[in-house]
Amino acid sequence: MLWTHFFDLRAPFMSLSPDAPERETPAIASTNAEPIPTYMTQAVIATLLCFPFTGTLAILHASQVISRIQAGDLDGAREASRKARRMVWLSVILGFVMIALTVLGGLALALYLLSLDYS
pLDDT digits (tens, 9 = 90+) for 8-45: 444 444 444 455 444 444 444 445 568 999 999 999 99
- How far is it, in rounded angstroms, from Cα 1 to Cα 9? 15
Domain that holds residue 44: 27-115
Residue 17 lies in a domain: no
- Has residue 22 been placed in a domain? no
Structural domains in the chain (count): 1
pTM, to two decimals: 0.67
End-to-end CA distance of the chain: 80
Residue 3, domain member (yes or no): no
Identify which of 47, 45, 85 has the alpha carbon closest to the alpha carbon of residue 64. 85
Pick the closest to residue 43 from 97, 80, 70 (CA basis): 80
